[in-house]
């Protein structure tokens, strides 16, 4: 059901779909401010605005498929004496029951089409949602009415001693339940939208909307294939649905199998096509639902941990059992003099800001670990519920086969893991229909569980394997742990204990390798350059060395248009910097050097955007970027005490979430700097953007602002020059006319 081999291609396809350009009103142009503010909104609003439409889009088509199964066969059979319901003789349903069943299906199809067009933004939210909710409720109540009549024994066939309900009846119960649940969930979606918690439209990406189409494709493939097999193998249609289901899910129970040459031939393309479509659905659930859900859970858990740590640091909450207490205690132990209030001594302020930054990193790590294990516990609990409750229902359905509960557990376990020995198989109508419904529920459940295990248990096993390998036979990049232990003992004892052959050389080699890797990770220079012009002006030889480095770097760079343009701009700024230096224009030299640094950092950060895992900068790198943006980490006037609760804006009463330097770089529009804290709601480490993306946007905005100022100054200089030329020309003409008037006889 969840083949790990599909992770790569399915993930790539999901990424490609995410990059598809949609219409101008699509979510690619969603308001950035609204996205930032949604970062701090409670998780229930994300569930109502995003998860519920995805659930409706996935289970709505499933309910339609069950409704089709409910209408395609009769609901009752006559059981012959000494026989079972599997060999029952069909009893025709009343015409009024068929009419109600058909009306229910039509109502549900209309509701589903309205939901699909709403996701595609073909129908307005205010029009589509009432149609969807009323349509699903109507379909549910109509089915419940006839289910009650048939199931309550109010409709007995004449001259029939023993009658039983067919699979169609049970499919109708599943459809009615799904219709009711979907309609009820959509009410919560509408309620949140009209209360103003989120927009009155589905905030779904293109790829999220394709999940509904992929689900429809899979169910259509399932039902059409079952129709073909029912004709080729002379099976009942719903038995063919049961066979097609466990075939596409690769369970292979084996109680049904094609025996004709045509049926076996048709299985070749049918199984391959169905497994591919199923792989797309699994990949969509993993990459579209899980990834977005993890981002939101990370955000909320991170915000709760941040607030809890702030409360403990301000001593507003001393409960040792609550969230963040251990982190706050460790912080006080490492920084006993730390305070949230900015001080006016630059040295203390720099250390305080650095401590704030590391606190934020600790909060990020703690919240990420908590989220991973919390997700594993939740998904594991859902899987166990599916296993144990499913086994209980199979035990009740197959009582005629005298299944024990342990036997039902065994069957459910082998089916969930797609082992499918075939020694147990459901034979009752209720058991077969429930197996189809239950196994389809297992697809998202197993997908989520396996994904969460990959972040926790599997990752732990992988790390333990690497550690074991480095301790034994596999070399690591920084020397084996055995070598590190030896070097550590040698350093700790001052060389009194021999660490083995080549100990000193090994220690030096490891230290040199670590230093080299740090330099490579840092970028072009070992220490990121700031705007410290007091260290001296670059001389001619210094400039030539940097130019040589630039050309070497430029030749090995990517040949994309963005890279070439940035390289040309960087070269131009260095050239103008040299010219200003030769003229003795210190101000112009500083300006050109600053723009050169901006362009160089933009080129470097541009390559880090979208990296996996996302790039995280250390404090010195952040300090360097902030200095380029005009921020000084030693200036307490730009900083503030982090508020525990994010302030509300006056217009929409939503939390304020604007990072440091949330400006475009235009000095005219950003004349008033905003104070902020590393652990406050304005921190650049807050929000749902990667750090590289945040830095790139601010650097580009700063460069745009400076280039705009240069262009404006150039135009003003040009206008002044043209005005001066016109005045001079007009004065020359006046003098010429005056001198011409004096020529001639008096």
Name the stretches of the chain with pLDDT < 70. Answer: 1-41, 203, 288-292, 315-332, 334-339, 341-347, 470-570, 577-578, 580-581, 585-587, 643-673, 725, 727, 730-746
Cα diameter, the chain: 147
Closest-CA residue to 604 (of 593, 591, 617): 617
Q: Identify whether residues 635 and 506 lie together within a single domain.
A: no
Q: Identify whether residues 545 and 518 lie together within a single domain.
A: no
Domain annotation covers residue 444: no
Write the CB contacts of 347 (distance below 8 Å, at least 6 apart in sequence): 634
Domain annotation covers residue 44: yes
Q: What is the spatial distance between Cα 42 and Cα 159, in angstroms, rounded to a whole number?
A: 61
Q: Identify whether residues 43 and 130 lie together within a single domain.
A: yes
Q: Identify whether residues 98 and 168 lie together within a single domain.
A: yes
Q: What is the pLDDT of residue 284?
A: 83
- CB count, 10 Å around CB of 6? 18
Q: What is the pLDDT of residue 519?
A: 42
pTM of structure: 0.75
Q: Identify whether residues 614 and 486 lie together within a single domain.
A: no
Omega within 30 of 0 (cis) for the link into 613: yes
Q: Identify whether residues 119 and 191 lie together within a single domain.
A: yes
Q: What is the spatial distance between Cα 287 and Cα 298, in angstroms, rounded to a whole number?
A: 16
How many domains does the chain fold into? Answer: 3
Closest-CA residue to 329 (of 300, 366, 297): 366
Q: What is the pLDDT of residue 172?
A: 98
Write the CB contacts of 363 (distance below 8 Å, at least 6 apart in sequence): 302, 305, 306, 309, 324, 327, 679
Write the CB contacts of 563 (distance below 8 Å, at least 6 apart in sequence): 557, 603, 606
Q: Identify whether residues 546 and 502 lie together within a single domain.
A: no
Q: What is the pLDDT of residue 336?
A: 64
Domain annotation covers residue 586: yes
Domain annotation covers residue 265: no
Closest-CA residue to 681 (of 655, 650, 654, 653): 655
Q: Identify whether residues 515 and 599 lie together within a single domain.
A: no
Write the CB contacts of 663 (distance below 8 Å, at least 6 apart in sequence): 669, 670, 698, 701
Task: DSSP for 593-662, please give it.
Answer: HHHHHHHHHHHHHHTTTT-SSPP---HHHHHHHHHHTT--TT-GGGB-PPPSSPPBPTTT--B----TT-
Domain CATH number, residue 167:
1.20.140.150
Tokens 């342990």, located at residue: 406
Q: What is the pLDDT of residue 548?
A: 41
Closest-CA residue to 449 (of 285, 220, 335): 285
Return the axis-axis angle of helices 167-194 and 52-72, rounded to nearest 10°: 150
Q: What is the spatial distance between Cα 405 and Cα 401, in angstroms, rounded to a whole number?
A: 12
- CB count, 10 Å around CB of 564? 13
Domain boundary among 175, 204, 233: 204
Q: What is the pLDDT of residue 705?
A: 87
Domain annotation covers residue 53: yes
In what side-by-side order are the strands of the sheet with 76-78?
89-91, 76-78, 163-165
The DSSP bridge pattern shows strands 89-91 and 163-165 to be unpaired
Tokens 């294939």, located at residue: 225
Domain annotation covers residue 590: yes
Q: What is the spatial distance between Cα 151 and Cα 68, in angstroms, rounded to a whole number?
A: 19
Domain annotation covers residue 377: no
Q: Identify whether residues 571 and 705 lie together within a single domain.
A: yes
> pLDDT tens digit string along 24-68?
344 444 445 555 555 566 778 888 888 899 899 999 999 999 999
Q: How far is CA 270 from CA 99, 228, 229, 335, in A?
A: 33, 10, 10, 65
Task: DSSP for 315-383, please give it.
Answer: TS---TTSTTHHHHHHHHHH-TT--SS--S-HHHHHHHHHHHHHHHHHHHHHHHHHHHHHHHHHHHHHH
Tokens 């500083």, located at residue: 590
Q: Identify whether residues 545 and 585 lie together within a single domain.
A: yes
Q: Identify whether residues 152 and 82 lie together within a single domain.
A: yes
β-bridge partners, 78:
89, 163
Q: What is the pLDDT of residue 732?
A: 64
Domain boundary among 459, 494, 522: 522
Q: Identify whether residues 606 and 492 lie together within a single domain.
A: no
Q: What is the pLDDT of residue 4?
A: 45
In this structure, are residues 233 and 314 in contact, taking their beta carbons and an 8 Å threshold? no
- Rg from Cα positions in the chain: 35
Domain containing 490 equals 473-522
Domain annotation covers residue 307: no
């Amino acid at each position: 059901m969840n083949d790990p081999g599909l992770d790569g291609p399915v993930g790539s396809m999901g990424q490609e779909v995410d990059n598809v350009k949609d219409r101008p009103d699509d979510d690619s142009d969603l308001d950035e401010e609204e996205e930032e503010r949604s970062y701090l909104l409670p998780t229930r609003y994300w569930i109502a605005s995003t998860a519920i439409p995805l659930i409706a889009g996935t289970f709505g088509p499933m309910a339609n498929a069950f409704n089709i199964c409910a209408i395609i066969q009769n609901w009752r059979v006559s059981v012959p004496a000494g026989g079972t319901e599997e060999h029952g003789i069909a009893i025709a349903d009343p015409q009024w029951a068929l009419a109600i069943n058909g009306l229910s299906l039509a109502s549900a199809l209309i509701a589903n089409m309205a939901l699909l067009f709403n996701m595609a933004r073909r129908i307005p939210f205010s029009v589509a949602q009432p149609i969807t909710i009323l349509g699903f409720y109507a379909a549910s109540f109509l089915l419940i009415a006839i289910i009650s009549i048939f199931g309550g024994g109010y409709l007995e066939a004449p001259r029939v001693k023993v009658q039983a309900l067919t699979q169609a009846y049970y499919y109708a119960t599943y459809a009615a339940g799904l219709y009711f649940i979907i309609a009820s969930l959509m009410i919560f979606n509408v309620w949140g939208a009209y209360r103003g918690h989120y927009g009155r439209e589905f905030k779904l990406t293109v790829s999220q909307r394709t999940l509904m189409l992929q689900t429809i494709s899979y169910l259509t493939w399932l039902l059409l294939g079952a129709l073909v097999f029912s004709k080729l193998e002379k099976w009942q249609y719903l038995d063919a649905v049961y066979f097609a289901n466990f075939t596409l899910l690769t369970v292979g129970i084996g109680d049904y199998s094609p025996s004709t040459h045509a049926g076996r031939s048709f299985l070749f393309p049918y199984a391959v096509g169905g497994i591919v479509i199923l792989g797309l659905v699994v990949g969509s659930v993993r990459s579209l639902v899980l990834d977005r859900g993890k981002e939101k859970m990370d955000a909320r858990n991170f915000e709760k941990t941040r607030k809890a740590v702030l409360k403990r640091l301000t001593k507003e909450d001393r409960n040792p059992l609550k969230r963040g207490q251990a982190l706050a205690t460790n912080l006080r132990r490492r920084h006993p003099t730390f305070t949230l209030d900015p001080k006016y001594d630059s040295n203390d302020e720099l250390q305080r800001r650095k401590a704030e930054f590391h606190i934020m990193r600790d909060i990020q790590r703690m919240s990420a670990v908590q989220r991973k294990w919390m997700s594993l516990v939740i998904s594991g609990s859902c899987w166990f519920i599916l296993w144990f409750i499913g086994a209980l229902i199979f035990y009740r359905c197959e009582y005629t086969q005298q299944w024990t509960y342990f036997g039902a557990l065994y069957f459910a376990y082998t089916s969930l893991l797609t082992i499918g020995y075939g020694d147990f198989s459901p034979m009752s109508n209720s058991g077969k229909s429930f197996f189809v419904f239950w196994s389809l529920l297992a697809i998202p459940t197993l997908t989520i569980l396996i994904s969460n295990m990959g972040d926790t248990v599997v990752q732990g096993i992988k790390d333990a394997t690497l550690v074991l390998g480095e301790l034994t036979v596999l070399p690591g990049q920084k020397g084996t742990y055995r070598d590190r232990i030896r070097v550590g003992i040698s350093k700790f004892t001052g060389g009194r204990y021999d660490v083995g052959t080549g100990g000193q050389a090994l220690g030096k080699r490891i230290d040199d390798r670590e230093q080299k890797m740090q330099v490579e990770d840092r970028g072009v220079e070992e220490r990121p350059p700031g705007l410290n012009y007091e260290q001296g002006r670059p001389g001619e030889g210094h400039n030539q060395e940097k130019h040589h480095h630039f050309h070497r770097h430029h030749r090995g760079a990517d040949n994309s248009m963005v890279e070439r343009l940035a390289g040309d701009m960087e070269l131009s700024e260095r050239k103008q910097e040299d010219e200003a230096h030769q003229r003795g224009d210190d101000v112009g030299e500083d300006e050109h050097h600053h723009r050169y640094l901006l362009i160089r950092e933009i080129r470097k950060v541009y390559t880090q955007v979208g990296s996996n895992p996302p790039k995280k900068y250390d404090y010195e790198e952040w300090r360097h970027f902030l200095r380029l943006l005009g921020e000084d980490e030693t200036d307490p006037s730009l900083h503030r005490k982090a508020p525990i609760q994010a302030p509300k804006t006056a217009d929409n009463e939503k939390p304020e979430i604007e990072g440091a330097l949330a400006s475009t770089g235009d000095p005219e529009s950003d004349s008033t700097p905003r104070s902020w804290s590393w652990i406050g709601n304005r921190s650049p480490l807050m929000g749902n953007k990667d750090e590289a993306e945040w830095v790139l946007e601010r650097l580009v905005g700063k460069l745009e602002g400076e280039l705009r100022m240069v262009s404006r100054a150039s135009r003003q200089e040009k206008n002044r020059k043209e005005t001066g030329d016109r005045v001079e020309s007009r004065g020359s003409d006046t003098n010429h006319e005056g001198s011409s008037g004096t020529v001639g006889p008096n």
